[in-house]
């Protein structure tokens, strides 16, 4: 007798396939991907160790031997990522502070009154800079920038120059919309940013004696500032 042929439904095929594949391990990462992840992790470890070392000893006193020790690597490994101490510090500036500067630059596209945007930036500064180790970099530049003009110039190009350009664009937008009647802030964007520097200095020197609410300070400053330049409705 001819043997019976068992019919297999179309629905059973994917189900059986699922049973066969169930339990298989996810595809392993390639060697290049793993290498890239390890390299990125090591680079971040070096930057974190460098921040600790620079914050504790200053730029002049910091040594790459001690950065390597903090990062748990050989000193020679640092040179695979950074040419020298100056390059390392420059990258620390860029990686730590560029995200906040980018926040100021992105504010130009927010369709809100200038005063509201400034208040929001005050909160962002309190959270993203003063509330983190980023403030140590700003403090280092205030205390040591004059002795190291090349680093000061790099910092200026990466942080104040970009921030001032973004603030000027915000102010011009406010003038065009009729929110403010004076171009003083466009000429002197430092008037908006200066209380942030006061907050960084105060945090490092006097906060343990008299804590300062930096965000409230910035908002109070903006209130006084905008009273002088906002358009008054009759």
**pLDDT for 93-150, tens place per residue?**
999 999 999 999 999 999 999 999 999 999 999 999 999 999 999 999 999 999 999 9
Distance, in Å, from the CA atom of 146 to the CA atom of 135, rounded to the nearest integer, reads: 18
**pLDDT for 203-228, tens place per residue?**
999 999 999 999 999 999 999 999 98
DSSP category for residue 28: P
Are 162 and 91 in a shared domain?
A: yes
Residue 189 sits in which domain range? 85-229
What CATH number should be reported for the domain holding residue 142?
Answer: 1.10.357.10
The answer to whether residue 24 is domain-embedded is no
Phi, psi (rounded to 5 degrees) for 224 = -65, -40
Per the structure, how many domains does the chain have? 2
What value, to the nearest 5°, has the Cα angle with vertex 52 and ends 163 and 81?
75
Evaluate whether 180 touches 192 at the Cβ level (below 8 Å): no
Are 91 and 42 in a shared domain?
A: no
The answer to whether residue 194 is domain-embedded is yes
Please tell me the pTM assigned to this model: 0.81
Query: Sign of the C-alpha dihedral, residues 78, 80, 86, 91?
Result: negative
Evaluate whether 50 touches 87 at the Cβ level (below 8 Å): no
Are 124 and 222 in a shared domain?
A: yes
The answer to whether residue 25 is domain-embedded is no
What CATH number should be reported for the domain holding residue 38?
Answer: 1.10.10.60
What value, to the nearest 5°, has the Cα angle with vertex 92 and ends 90 and 95?
110
């Amino acid at each position: 007798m001819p043997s019976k042929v068992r019919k297999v439904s179309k629905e059973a095929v994917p189900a059986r396939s699922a049973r066969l594949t169930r339990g298989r391990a996810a595809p392993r990462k390639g060697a290049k991907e793993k290498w890239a992840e390890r390299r990125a992790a090591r680079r971040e470890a070096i930057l974190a160790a460098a921040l600790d070392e620079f914050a504790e000893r200053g730029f002049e006193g910091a040594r790459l031997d001690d950065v390597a020790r903090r990062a748990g690597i050989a000193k020679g490994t640092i040179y695979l990522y950074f040419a020298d101490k100056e390059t390392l510090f420059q990258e620390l500036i860029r990686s730590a502070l560029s995200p906040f500067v980018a926040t100021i630059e992105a504010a130009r596209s927010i369709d809100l009154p200038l005063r509201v945007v400034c208040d929001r930036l005050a909160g962002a500064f309190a959270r993203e800079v003063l509330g983190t180790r980023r403030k140590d970099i700003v403090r280092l530049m205030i205390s040591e920038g004059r002795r190291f003009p090349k680093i000061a110039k790099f910092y200026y190009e990466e942080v104040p120059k970009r921030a001032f350009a973004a603030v000027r664009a915000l102010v011009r937008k406010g003038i065009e919309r009729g929110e403010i009647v004076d171009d003083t802030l466009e000429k002197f964007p430092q008037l908006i940013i200066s209380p942030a520097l006061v907050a960084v200095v105060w945090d490092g020197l006097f906060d343990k004696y008299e804590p300062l609410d930096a965000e409230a300070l910035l908002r109070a400053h903006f209130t006084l500032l905008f009273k002088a330049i906002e358009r008054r409705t009759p």
